Structure 1
Amino acid sequence: MAISSGLRNKLIAAAGGGAMLITTIFLGGKGGVEGREYVAYKDVAGVWTVCDGITGQGVIRNKTYTDRECDQLLWNRVSLVKAQVDPLVQVPLGEYQRAALYSFTYNVGIGAFSKSTLLKKLNAGNVDAACEELRRWIYAGGQKWRGLMNRRDMERSLCLAEAADDLAGK
């Protein structure tokens, strides 16, 4: 699944804001890859989740979250992911590539990312092969999921885009 034209335009506009802004736009709000849910629910793996894929002890069941609360939770989580991912990456990357890694790690967790073949290939300098590794991460609860396949395809597109022109298909 390709990145929708609306999301693509938002990502191109965010390019000057860096990987953090690109990631929050990619993940968050209406039209983001996570989808926004204002009341906690159990995801396909049985994990309590709210807003834009936020999980963990801070998720309050039966609470209705506001857009402002969801935006803050998303920014806090992406900031944490950035702080965890950046020290592990030993090669220079563009902002879209970093955003793809942040999105991926946001979804699978730092433990999985830190031990992944994706990171090994990336740090060996094979960025394209690392981006291709994203397509392998399509399982949740032991099953292949169409939603994860779509998400990984979009993350791969973001990862392979070195500049806004690449993302726009120019």
Structure 2
Amino acid sequence: MALRTKVKYGLSAAMLALIAAGASAPQLLDQFLQEREGNTLVAVRDNGGVWSVCRGVTRIDGKPVVKGQRLTQSQCDHYNAIERDKALAWVNKHVHIPLTEPQK
């Protein structure tokens, strides 16, 4: 069953375990983004030509990420948390039906 679930939904064993354990939305989003985006301390350019750093952060303190920009792991943790919290706040504001933590 777990293998079929992974194939059907594309979730890792770690994600499925977090869901089964009742993890919070921030924990789930952190794990998901870590798996999908990775975390790079040096700016990288995506296929669309946009520079990003950490787990896909494209703006730091209102300014676009630029080629060669470097951050520490501590800085990435900080900016990743800001982006995660903004995304979850958007869901809470715009989705007007009851959601479980994994659905957020």
TM-score normalised to structure 1 length: 0.48
Structure 2: gaps of 5 or more residues: 1-6
What is the one-letter code of the residue matched to 2:55? D
Which one has a larger percent strand, Structure 1 or Structure 2?
2
What is the one-letter code of the residue matched to 1:39? V
Residue from 11, 15, 25 that aligns with 2:22: 15
Counterpart of 1:94 in structure 2 is: 100
Counterpart of 2:90 in structure 1 is: 84
Conserved? CA contact 1:15–1:22, under 8 Å: no
Conserved? CA contact 2:37–2:56, under 8 Å: yes
Report the Cα distance in structure 1 between the residues aligned to 2:42 and 2:92, rounded to whole angstroms.
31
Q: Does 1:39 align with 2:47?
A: no
1:64-108 per-residue CA deviation (whole Å, 9 max, x = no partner) reads: 32222212111101111222221111100111110xxxxxxxxxx
Counterpart of 1:3 in structure 2 is: 11
| Regions of 4+ moved over 4 Å | none
How far off its partner does 1:52 sit?
A: 0.6
Which one has a larger percent helix, Structure 1 or Structure 2?
1
Report the Cα distance in structure 1 between the residues aligned to 2:22 and 2:36, rounded to whole angstroms.
18
Conserved? CA contact 2:39–2:53, under 8 Å: yes
Q: How many residues align?
A: 93
Structure 1: gaps of 5 or more residues: 99-170
Q: Calculate percent identity across the aligned residue pairs.
A: 33
Question: Relative to structure 1, is the Cα distance of residues 74 and 14 closer, same or farther in structure 2, using a 3 angstrom cutoff?
Answer: farther
Alignment of structure 1 residues 121-136 onto 2, 5 Å: none
Conserved? CA contact 2:15–2:28, under 8 Å: no
Counterpart of 1:50 in structure 2 is: 53
Conserved? CA contact 1:14–1:22, under 8 Å: no
Q: Does 1:25 align with 2:31?
A: yes
Report the Cα distance in structure 1 between the residues aligned to 2:58 and 2:91, rounded to whole angstroms.
18
Report the Cα distance in structure 2 between the residues aligned to 1:67 and 1:19, rounded to whole angstroms.
22
TM-score normalised to structure 2 length: 0.73
